[in-house]
Amino acid sequence: MDEIVSFGEWVQQRRKVLRFTRNQLARRIGCAAVTIKKIERDERRPSRQIAELLA
């Protein structure tokens, strides 16, 4: 059975598969690394624009 993961967990897993640091991912989508950190920890919901860029 597949495990259900949060959007933040999915972002972190995908970032690691792509071998990006938080800084690299943040630069690619135009936000701060702390924003990526908070999204990955489910401390912040991404804006629609950021969510689309991350997906």
For the chain, 55 residues long, the average pLDDT of each consecutive 10-residue run is 89 98 98 98 96 93
Number of domains in the chain: 1
Residue 1 counted as domain residue: no
pTM of the prediction? 0.89
What does the pLDDT read at residue 55?
87
Is 2 within a domain? no
Q: Is position 13 within any domain?
A: yes
- How far apart (Å, rounded) are the C-alpha atoms in residues 32 and 26? 5
Residue 22: C-alpha distances to residues 4, 6, 32, 44, 55 (Å): 23, 18, 9, 15, 15
Measured distance CA(4)–CA(18) in Å, rounded:
21
Instruction: Tell me, yes or no, whether 41 lies in a domain.
Output: yes
Six-digit token pair at 16?
A: 């690691």
